[in-house]
Structures are given as structure tokens and as C-alpha cells.
Amino acid sequence: MKKRFVIWTAGIYILYVLVMGAYLFWWADFGVPEAYEGTGADPATFMTDRQLELSQDYSRYQSMLYFLGLPLEWIIYLGVLVFGVSRLFRDFGERVSRFTFINIPIYVLLLSTLTWVLTFPLDYARRTLSVNYGIGTQSFTGWMRDQLISFWIGTLIMAMLITVLYVLIRRFQKRWWLYAWMLMIPFMIFMMYIQPVVIDPLYNDFSRLSNPQLEEKILAMAEQADIPAERVYEVNMSEKTNAMNAYVNGIGSNLRIVLWDTTLNKLDESEVLFIMAHEIGHYVKNHLLWMLAGSIAVTFGGLYVGYRIFHVVINRWGNTWKVKGVTDVASLPALLLIFSLLSFIANPVELAVSRNAEKSADEYAIEMTQDREAAVGSFQQLTVTALSDVNPPALVKYLRYGHPTMMERITMLESYQQ
């Protein structure tokens, strides 16, 4: 079985890579349709020839790395099961301690470490690509620091969730998915609440906006939208990237309005105000709460479907993998594989919903600012600094884009009647 797994996996993956490479580098069209040539959405009107060439190359390579990594975790989870690594991790944890709250976190740590090591080359390739094209500015030391922070935060959270999950599986084999979902609701709300004040500061330094006049104008916009904010935060991102961003996140007393310093440095005041109006639009239209509600609903469906498939898979192949049953933590890679595949299937729908929300926020922002020139200019500058593709291939758009394409966004703004 091991030899067959290696041969089939390698063959299918190589064929997949060749097809995706052909799609991105030969079949897919780049640039805008003829009807959009000469408009504000045409990158030829606001980018140099060199920038156009770099943006197309960067978009292709970036998408190729995404597609290369897409099935990688699935292969790792299957390989861990087929080669008996999962059983070895389980046995090691049980030798260390017979207590569930110790041996399961040990198993999670071992599996997370293996996955991190095997996916590291692709992560490093993404970082190298970004630096080589002038997007990333972070030193290797700083990048590794962020990678390790993410690893330990992710592993600690995962260890806690998986431990609780397997306690539920062992006690309620037919209803564990429902109880897990019920516990996930307060957990997701809690994570949304602490994200701005506990997790985000681990990666970046936040301070009060350095321009008091601009802060006053942004807070006036926030007050107009009934956002309970007393200050605007500036985050030092220029040491990591040349790209720009701004956001409103958190809930309750931890809600924060945040601007990247790159956004402040590269846009003029009217363009910054449009970007902030867009982020305020998300709050006004309750997109954060709808996102939370959607996550809760998707989690319910995912846990139920995952539960049904999980039991079938373990009953069918558990003995082959030396997995004792669904209550055995060695079955975790199968469960993670199922959830990852379900997430992939749901992803295009989630991205479509996100694109609709972003379009709604764009409409709110232009209605609030009434400044079409600043709006178009801000999106054009965002495109230039990130070397974005204004009109990506369809497959890239539907599998990767949570925002409308820049062509769609700029066209909407140009057609807006002031």
C-alpha cells in the first residue's frame, strides 16, 4: 500500500502541477478586455511598462505557489496515516503520560511540527518571491520570528481544541459534533474579542495615529457611523511590506480602527479617508457580525458532514492505518483531512459572499466621501504597490479573491454618479 500511495500521489501531483502551470502561464489571459482599455481600470493608464510586466509575472508565480501548496496538507495527512507515523506519535504520547490532557497535546505538537517542517520550503518560497519583487521588506530573522509565533499560537489553540474534541468523541460518539459546535460558538466570539488586543500586538507595534488632524477626521467619520472609537491606531508595517491596508476589527470594547503606516505614507489624505470609509462601511453594514454568524452556520454544517464521513472512513481504513477507532487520537489526520477538503469545497461560496460584502463597503464609502477621484486613485495606488493583477484568471478569482477584482472595483467607482 505504501509503494502504491507514493506512486499514485507523485503521479497525480505532477500532472496537477503541469496542468496548473499550463493554465497560469499559457492558457489564461492577462490584462483587461478591450472594452476597458483606456479607462481608469486599465493598468496601462496608471502603471509603467515595467510595473505591468512585473505585476503579471508576480501574479502568475504567486498563484502558482498557492496551487502548489493547496493539496500539500492533504498529502501530508494521508502520508502520516499510510506510513504509520500517526500511530507512532500516539504511542509516544501515551508513553509520556496516560492522561488525555497531556498525551493528546503531545500528539498535536508532533503532528504540527511535522506539517510545519514539510510546508516550510513553500512558505519560504512565498517570502522570497515577495522580497524579490519588492513587496516584502522584512528581514529573514523578523520573518522567522513571525513564523514561530504563528506556529506556537496555532499549536496551542489546536492542542486545546483537539483535546476537548476527543474528550467529546469518547463520551458522545453520536453527538460529539453537536456539542463541539455548541462550544465553538463562545470560542469564536472570544477569539474575535481578544484578536486586536492580545494576538495582533504579538506581530506588530501599534500606536496612536501620528497625524492628529487626520485622526480627528477619521473619528468624525466613525462618529457619523456610530462606531464607538476614541482613537485610531497606526501599525508599523513598513518594516515588513510595501503593500497597504487598513481595517476595523474586534467587537465590543476591543473594537479598533487600524491604518498601516504604508497606507499613510503612500496615499494622500482624501484617499486615506476613502479607504477608512470603506472599512467603516463594513461596521455599519454589520459585516463583522454577519461573518461571525456565517462562520457559526458553516461550522455546524461542516462538523455534521465531517462526523458522518469520519466514521465511514475510520470503519473502512482504520485497521489498515493501525487506528483503533474514532476515539483514537491517531485518527486525527483523517479528521483534519476531511475538514480541510470540506473547507476547500465551501471556499468559493465563502469568497463570493466576501466579494459581495466588499462591493457593498465600496458603495458605502463612495456615498460617504463623494470623492470619486480619490476613490479611484486609492485603488490604483493599491494595485501599483502590491503589483496586483487588476483582472486575474477566473480560476484564481474564484478560489483566491475575497474582494472584487480591481477592474470591477474601479469600474464601479467610475460609473458612480456624484
Beta carbons within 10 angstroms of residue 283's beta carbon = 22
Check if the beta carbon of residue 184 is closer than 8 Å to that of residue 299: yes
Half-sphere exposure of 251 (CA within 13 A, CB side): 13
Phi, psi torsion values for 56, nearest 5 degrees: -65, -45
Query: Which candidate in 271, 279, 358, 408 is catalytic?
Result: 279
State yes or no: is 279 an active-site residue.
Answer: yes
Mapping DSSP onto H, E and C, the string for the chain reads CHHHHHHHHHHHHHHHHHHHHHHHHHHCCCCCCHHHCCCCCCHHHCCCHHHHHHHHHHHHHHHHHHHHHCCHHHHHHHHHHHCCHHHHHHHHHHHHCCCHHHHHHHHHHHHHHHHHHHHHHHHHHHHHHHHHCCCECCCHHHHHHHHHHHHHHHHHHHHHHHHHHHHHHHHCCCCHHHHHHHHHHHHHHHHHHHHHHHHHHHCCCEEECCCHHHHHHHHHHHHHCCCCCCCEEEECCCCCECCCCEEEECCHHHCEEEEEHHHHHHCCHHHHHHHHHHHHHHHHCCHHHHHHHHHHHHHHHHHHHHHHHHHHHHHHHCCCCCCCCCCCHHHHHHHHHHHHHHHHHHHHHHHHHHHHHHHHHHHHHHHHHCCHHHHHHHHHHHHHHHCCCCCCCHHHHHHHCCCCCHHHHHHHHHCCCC
Report the C-alpha gap between 346 and 357 in whole angstroms.
Answer: 17
Distance of CA 189 to the CA centre of its chain: 18
Q: How crowded is residue 152: how many other Cβ atoms within 10 Å of its Cβ? A: 13
Q: Which residues are catalytic?
A: 279
